[in-house]
With several copies, the nearest count.
Chain A
Amino acid sequence: MLEIKVGPNDEIILSGRFDASQAERAETFLAAVTGSRVVDLAELQYISSLGLGVLLATQKRLMDRGESLKLVNVRGHVRDILHFAGFDRVFAIEPPPA
């Protein structure tokens, strides 16, 4: 299961597993997003290519408006997956604080 929450500074918090079975729910949520937002992936254990596709589509939509998502606390396997996807060129990506 993917948990989708909004934190105290309006950051979007994705935790759990972002697999194909959760992509539609995430898509519904992200469609409402306007403005530049931080997405906190600290507790995200897993993301599949469908999950990447949902993030990418949102980023493209926001960049057309001069806005963007910034991914923070990116770590572990999720960090590897985003790296292999070349998302360093698509998002500002920050690892957890040292």
Chain B
Amino acid sequence: MTPERRSFPREVGSLPAVFDFIDEFFDRAAIGGEHRVPVHFAVEELFTNLIKYGGGREEILVELRREPGRLAVSLTDLGGQPFDIRSAPDARVDLGPRERTPGGLGIHILKRMVDGIDYEYVDGRSTTTIFKKLG
């Protein structure tokens, strides 16, 4: 399987097309359906955070790669600011409803849904990659 790459407008309305792109790759690469939700979750999270906080103005590039024993998904923002989700603190999920504030759950959950995270910032290109073990 060669990697697949596609870029999408920075808007929430792109999500259905992003999910379709992922699903088609899953089908062609014969990746088990049990990995779909974790990958959708991670990609939606990264994609919407880039829209909200990324600061770039170009389309967001999504790349899917089947590597030995795992799936790699990268989101790249051109001209945005660097942000490494690995250094984001965990959310206070131990609090009861009254103490809870909305937001901050996305990255916290993402980290628990994937098997690895990489981050790179080179020449103004900010790339987060998530990995999902297969098989």
Contacts and interface: CB of A to CB of B under 8 A. Distances in A.
Direct A/B contact, Cβ within 8 angstroms: yes
Interface in A51-66: 52-53, 56-57, 59-60, 63
B7 interface: no
Given A21-B13, A21-B15, A46-B37, A89 B109 contact: no
Interface in B2-22: 12-13, 15-16, 19
Interface in B111-125: 112-113
B106 interface: yes
Contacts of B48: 20, 48, 50
B102 A56 contact: yes
Interface stretch (A4-12, A34-42, A78-86): A78-86
Given A46-B37, A46-B40, A80-B113, A20 B15 contact: yes
Which secondary structure dominates where chain B touches chain A? helix
B44 A20 contact: yes
Contacts of B97: 56, 59-60, 63, 89-90
B82 to A, nearest CB: 22
Nearest to B111: A84
Given A20-B12, A20-B15, A89-B96, A49 B45 contact: yes
A43 interface: no
A89 B113 CA distance: 20
Contact of B12 (A21, A77, A86): A21
A19 interface: yes
In the complex, the 6 A-B pairs of residues with the closest C-beta atoms, listed nearest first = A86-B93, A49-B106, A77-B37, A90-B97, A84-B109, A84-B112
Given A63-B97, A76-B37, A89-B94, 9 more contacts: A19-B44, A21-B15, A48-B106, A49-B44, A53-B103, A77-B38, A85-B93, A86-B93, A90-B100
